[in-house]
Chain A
Amino acid sequence: MNNYIEIVKACIKGNRKAQKQLYQLFADKMFGVCMRYADDVDEAKDILQDGFIKVFMNLEQFNHKGSFEGWVRRIMVNTALEKFRDKNYLFAVNMEQGYESRDKEYDHILSELAAKDLLKMVQELSPQYRMVFNLYAIEGYSHKEICEMLNIKEGTSKSNLSRAREILKEKIKKNSDVKIKYI
């Protein structure tokens, strides 16, 4: 995978072939990321496109110390957040109390669900729940980091997360019901 260092160098020089290569190398993965954050396919396409332009414009800034993929991914996430902030300039402060519960019964159903089903569930979350869930559960940010990113209170981030989890559990349950019906 280290050969992309060469590709990156060529990209910096503006080599179009290399740029396309770099794009092709990461497009699928990054589109996967974008799809988790976006409202719909069009928005996912926008995020991917804008994100890649940022990548190309700022390739020189990559210091080759960290993971390049991680760097690209961060740009995509940032771009997605940017879009989210643009659309949701005023956040509704949600002080709803969440509760943590561990429903073991769903865990096995969960593991059987396909990534696409899970993605669909995440996509169906309302934008703010989706952001919080993605950032926390999948990207691995802490609530403290998330509340800074989204300009919400830490409590809001927490309650959004547990609410998102509740909704996802509901969806998993429904999904399994449907599956059982068809089996």
Chain B
Amino acid sequence: MKVHLSNMDQVFRDKLENFQHKPPDEVWNNIEQKLDGKKSSNILIYKIAASLAILTFIASLYFNLNRTSYPYSYKITPRYTETAKDHKLPDKSFKYSAISMADINLENENSKGWSFLQEEKIVVHPAERINNEEIASLTTLPVAIDEHRNRPDILIKKIPPKQSLFADIFPEFSAVNYEEYNINHSNASKKWMIGGAIAPSYSYRHIPESNILTGNSYYNNLESPVFTYSGGLNIQFKAQKRFSIQAGIYYSTMGQDMNYISVYANQLYQIAGDKTRDNYINTYEIINSAGDIKFNSPLVFFDETATARVRNLSVSKNDIMLSETFLDNVHANIRQSFEYIEVPLIFRYKVLDKTLGINILGGVGANFLVGNNVYLIYDNNKDVIGKTNGVNNINYSGLLGLGLEYPIMNNLNILIEPSLKYYLNPINSNLEIESHPYSLGIYTGVSYSF
């Protein structure tokens, strides 16, 4: 006996130290189940890895399909077929035909961004890991994975209950009080989690009320948010019972729509001969809060708000009056879209650690621009007309979120994480206007702990 006990303590000790009671039979059954579960966990990892791969593949298909440039197909703007070279006005030989924008695009950055992501395959090495999430979930400190054997060790020691992160990372510097039963030295506990998530997002930008002449309301009236997708893979390290660090790689699209710009198809372009047709291709510059867009198009763009957002740089070549009857209105939208590969570093704190877990997330991310397109969207088609000039290639973002996780299988959780990402730097450092993109997404996905 190490310490002096009062008489009463002694009585309690004598009677309770070796007190026995038969536990209900179900306890052994549960233990057996969990021990069985351990065996199949390797297979489970493969299953998860496979489903993540499939998910990534499907997502990449989705994004690629969405980005395919379709040839224009105006229902309202007829054009001579190649056979109608006699310059007669043909009635029946009008054809719904294609003007391939690819020919006249300044640049067509097709799918560059996503293919980059596809190259970044996360490889899971489940092979030797005796993976046991029960152990992991039961205790923060007594259990550790030995680097060499990949097996959990147990530290039977007097555990300081809230060991510092520092001590977790540098166990050799932390005061460890090993005891008689104390077995091998071991690293601090390690718990990993891999996951994948995809999110529909609401994306727009914030322009601080700054010294710009027009104020931010000017742009807020002319531009509007877009709905996009984002998704990726992540890996989490549980540094402490409730505190985790997460890194990952995500693909995300940000952007905005430009409103009050009318788009017309020019019949003159349709009927012009090969030699004169080029005269109807104009160079436009559209200026907005994210930068300027310069492109060539046979279409006619006009700013409805009588501000100077749209400029026809080649107007002298071909004066177009909007009153002309040869202009057909195309119901089209102009969308600026930026694709990023995001590498976030996120800190998670678990505020509720029950069956349903609630986490608070905060972090920072580096966002690498991998796609920069301006789309003309009409009749379910999406054509690239150009790109936004001057935007940064790397942006830094802050992230705040709330994560809900719920176990569906032994090591498998489903997650729902509404989160807000805000670009700390303006998207275009060349402009006076400071446009900070942000997106609000609800990430849903799965995570697997091992």
Chain A residues close to B by CB (< 8 Å): 16, 19-20, 23-24, 27-29, 31-33, 35-36, 44-45, 48-50, 52-54, 56-58, 60-63, 65-66, 70-71, 74-75, 78-79, 81-82, 85-86, 89, 100, 102, 104, 106-107, 110-111, 113-115, 118-119, 122, 133, 136-138, 140-142, 145, 148-151, 165, 168-169, 172
Contact = CB atoms under 8 A, between A and B. Distances in A.
A62 B151 CA distance: 14
Nearest to A32: B19
B3 A140 contact: yes
B3 A142 contact: yes
A32 B160 contact: no
Contact of B20 (A28, A70, A110): A28
B34 interface: yes
Contact of B3 (A29, A33, A100, A136): A136
Contacts of A71: 156, 181
B156 A78 contact: yes
A79 B17 contact: no
Interface in B149-174: 151-154, 156, 158-162
Contact of A151 (B5, B160, B181): B160
A85 to B, nearest CB: 5
A61 B24 contact: no
A53 B15 contact: no
Interface in B1-43: 1-3, 5-9, 11-13, 15-24, 26-28, 30-32, 34-35, 38
Nearest to B177: A148
Contact of B16 (A53, A119, A141): A119
Contacts of B234: none
A104 B11 CA distance: 12
B71 to A, nearest CB: 61
23 contacts: A23-B31, A27-B23, A27-B28, A28-B23, A32-B16, A35-B19, A35-B21, A52-B27, A53-B138, A54-B143, A54-B154, A57-B38, A57-B152, A75-B156, A78-B142, A82-B140, A115-B15, A118-B15, A137-B9, A137-B13, A141-B158, A142-B2, A145-B158
B180 interface: yes
B138 A50 contact: yes
Contact of B12 (A27, A137, A145, A148): A137
Nearest to A91: B161
B184 interface: yes
A68 B373 CA distance: 68
A58 B6 contact: no
B58 interface: no
Nearest to A23: B28
A19 B161 contact: no
B137 to A, nearest CB: 9
A33 to B, nearest CB: 8
Report, as a range, how many residues of chain B touch the other chain: 35 or more
A70 B181 contact: yes
A165 B8 contact: yes
Q: List the 5 closest A-B pairs by CB distance, nearest first.
A: A137-B9, A58-B154, A32-B19, A31-B23, A28-B20
Given A57-B152, A137-B12, A148-B159, 20 more contacts: A19-B32, A28-B22, A31-B21, A35-B21, A45-B23, A49-B30, A49-B31, A58-B143, A78-B139, A82-B139, A86-B353, A107-B11, A118-B11, A118-B16, A138-B16, A142-B2, A149-B158, A149-B159, A149-B160, A150-B161
Given A56-B35, A66-B181, A78-B142, A29 B27 contact: no
Contacts of A172: 8
B135 interface: yes
A140 B1 CA distance: 6
A152 B30 CA distance: 34
A61 B31 contact: no
Nearest to A67: B181
A151 B28 contact: no
A33 B19 CA distance: 7
Nearest to A140: B2
Given A71-B181, A137-B13, A140-B2, A28 B21 contact: yes
B132 interface: yes
B19 A61 contact: no
A79 B19 contact: no
A54 B35 CA distance: 10
B6 A165 contact: yes
B27 A74 contact: no
Contacts of A62: 181, 183
A36 to B, nearest CB: 6
Contacts of A45: 23-24, 26-27
A61 B184 contact: yes
Contacts of B242: 89
B139 A54 contact: yes
A79 B138 contact: yes
B135 A54 contact: yes
A49 B27 contact: yes
B188 to A, nearest CB: 15
Contact of A122 (B6, B16, B180, B183): B16
